[in-house]
Amino acid sequence: MDIAIMGAGLSGLACAITLKKNGITPTIFERRSEVGDRFVNGEVLLSIFTRPVHDCIASLSEEYGIYLKPAGNIQKMELFSKNKSAIIEGHLGFTNIRGREQGSFEKQLEQQTKSKIRFNSEKTYEELLGKYSHVVIATGDGDYAKKTRNFREDFTVSIKGATVEGCFDRYSVMAWLDYDLAPYGYCFLIPFSEKEANISIAIPDLPANADVNLNNLWGFFHEKVRSQLKQELPMTDQFQITRYPIGICDAARIGNTFYVGNCFGTTLPFMGFGQYASILSGVYAAYDLCGLGKYEDLMKPLRQSYQDSLVLRRSMEQLSNKGLDLIVHTLQGYWGEKLFQTKTINPLKVASYLLRPYIKMKNRKTT
Ligand SMILES: Cc1cc2nc3c(=O)[nH]c(=O)nc-3n(C[C@H](O)[C@H](O)[C@H](O)COP(=O)(O)OP(=O)(O)OC[C@H]3O[C@@H](n4cnc5c(N)ncnc54)[C@H](O)[C@@H]3O)c2cc1C
């Protein structure tokens, strides 16, 4: 069995590590000159989105032999809507770095990868399929899945972000659900050290946002964070992504081609989280290749999380700032902590179950 992995990101490297542990050496093709050769970004792993797993770092090491050191553990989340705020405390998840920094998740995975990575190597899927018995597509977006008519794109999102310098509590993240700042979207501040944080704004490319200028919003948001934190927050690194597709594959595996990571559709539509699912998808593809499970079956819970999260996204699009104020207000205190701390229920699943009839009714009204 000759296996080619396209892409040395989270899912591709997790796949390679798991294959090697089981005695198979894949060849990894990476189009860039090094792992993580992209913008630096602070990201989060929030346990509310990884249920039933509460501590995904522990689970990755104990269950799958993938060892990752986060930048910090999140002990506090401050949530802001237009007129309300909530503070949620407890063990909420982790922050981590992505990109070209030494401690980034992709660099950490590279260190655990015992297979050769061929850099500056952008082979097409067709070329690899001609040479290898199996191809794992881990390219980080749905392009190849689209090309092979295996991808349902649900919407696209435009994102702008930057690394800012300042003085931060690295155990605390901030999120804004305020449609004046980001219509139908969200903003984050994620520290990855005491001195650096990532700020980002993401808005879905809905018809209602057609006249929205992301650069203007960005200016307002940066100003808002500066005044809230009473700091200058100079930017050291900026990025912008236009029309990032959010969608999911119809089939996780077609013949001997495996769609993993965001090429499968591991990024959750609600607020764009996908790191944990991407790593798991790489591990699961390797399990299938090693005869330890069926990829399609193993991916079912991740597929379900995507669908549940899509319901939340569609519901979010029906809300106004008034509705967001109500939600944020409700999350302050008992309910917020209950929702984020509970280990027995999956809040994403429950919320989506309760909201499904409402979304159906709205859809019926608009068609
Ligand atoms: C701005 C932003 C913020 C995010 N924030 C969060 C967050 O806070 N929490 C969270 O959980 N998730 C977050 N996500 C989502 C998360 O980053 C992704 O789900 C995850 O990185 C997907 O992993 P992957 O393996 O599919 O792709 P990646 O890790 O992106 O890896 C893809 C690799 O494939 C390579 N490649 C591409 N095309 C080719 C080709 N043709 N040949 C060879 N190599 C190729 C790329 O160079 C790259 O190295 C965020 C995403 C974005 C864009």
CA of 318 to the centre of ligand 1 (A): 29
Q: What φ, ψ does residue 25 adopt, rounded to 5°?
A: -105, 110
Model pLDDT for residues 98-128, shown as the tens digit of each residue? 999 889 999 999 999 999 999 999 899 999 9
The per-residue b/e assignment along 121-147, b for 16 or more CB within 10 angstroms, e otherwise, is eebebeebbeebebbbbbbbbbebbbe
pLDDT value of position 242: 95
Q: Whose CA is nearest to atom 1 of ligand 1?
A: 159
Ligand 1 atom closest to the Cα of residue 262 is 26
Cβ 158 vs Cβ 243: under 8 Å: yes
Position in ligand 1 atom list of the atom nearest CA 190: 8
175 forms beta bridges with: 79, 188
Looking at residue 359, its pLDDT comes to 67
Q: What pLDDT is attached to residue 149?
A: 94
Burial 148-169 (b: 16+ CB within 10 A, else e): eebbeebbebbbbbbbbebebe
User: How far does residue 262's CA lie from ligand 1's centre (Å)?
Assistant: 7
CATH for the 3-360 domain, from 1.10.10.1100, 3.10.20.30, 3.40.50.880, 3.50.50.60? 3.50.50.60
Cα distance between residue 139 and residue 13, in whole Å:
11
pLDDT for 162 equals 97
Mean pLDDT confidence for 71-82: 96
CA 249: distance to chain centroid?
16
Q: What is the pLDDT of residue 103?
A: 94
Tell me the best of 27, 30, 198, 270 to mutate to test the pocket of ligand 1, counting ligand atoms within 8 Å of each CB and taking the most. Answer: 30
Calculate mean pLDDT across residues 144-168: 96
In angstroms, the CA 357 to CA 367 distance is 15
pLDDT of residue 335: 78
Confidence tier at 366 by pLDDT (50, 70, 90): low
Eight-state DSSP code of residue 329: H
Sign of CA dihedral 208, 212, 214, 216: negative
With the most atoms of ligand 1 within 8 angstroms of its CB, the residue from 262, 271, 299, 305 to mutate is 262
Radius of gyration for the chain, computed over Cα atoms and rounded to the nearest angstrom:
20
The answer on pLDDT for 348 being more than 80 is no
Residue 154 CA to ligand 1 centre (angstroms): 18
pLDDT (average), residues 196-206: 97
**Closest C-alpha residue for ligand 1 atom 30:** 140
Strand order in the sheet with 41-46: 41-46, 85-98, 72-80, 172-176, 186-191, 196-204, 151-165, 235-249
Residues with CB under 6 A from ligand 1: 6-12, 29-32, 41, 43-45, 122, 138-140, 159, 161, 200, 241, 244, 261-263, 266-267, 272-275, 278
Pocket test for ligand 1, best of 5, 10, 163, 284 (most atoms within 8 A of CB): 10
Minimal-distance CA residue to ligand 1 atom 3: 43
**Pairing verdict, β 257-259 and 134-137:** parallel
Distance CA 346, CA 48 (A): 8
Domain ranges within the chain, ordered by starting residue: 3-360
Residue closest via CA to ligand 1's atom 17 equals: 275
What is the residue with the minimal CA distance to atom 48 of ligand 1?
9
- For residue 367, what pLDDT is reported? 56
Q: State the average pLDDT for the chain.
A: 93
74: its two tokens: 């999140």
173 in Cβ contact with 192 (< 8 Å): no
The answer to whether residues 350 and 311 touch, using CB atoms and an 8 Å cutoff, is no
What distance in Å separates the CA atoms of residue 177 and residue 271, rounded to the nearest whole number? 10
170 CA distance to ligand 1 centroid (A)? 23
Between the CA of 29 and the centroid of ligand 1 the distance, in Å, is: 15
CA 203 to ligand 1 centroid distance, Å: 18
Element (H, E) at 80: strand 72-80
Q: Which residue, judged by its Cα, is nearest atom 27 of ligand 1?
A: 140
CA distances to 189, 204, 215, 311 from 225, rounded to whole Å, are: 8, 21, 15, 29
Nearest-10 crossing angle of helices 10-21, 105-112: 20
- 347, pLDDT greater than 80: no
Q: Which atom of ligand 1 is nearest to the CA of 200?
A: 1
Answer yes or no: are the C-beta atoms of 135 and 125 closer than 8 Å. yes
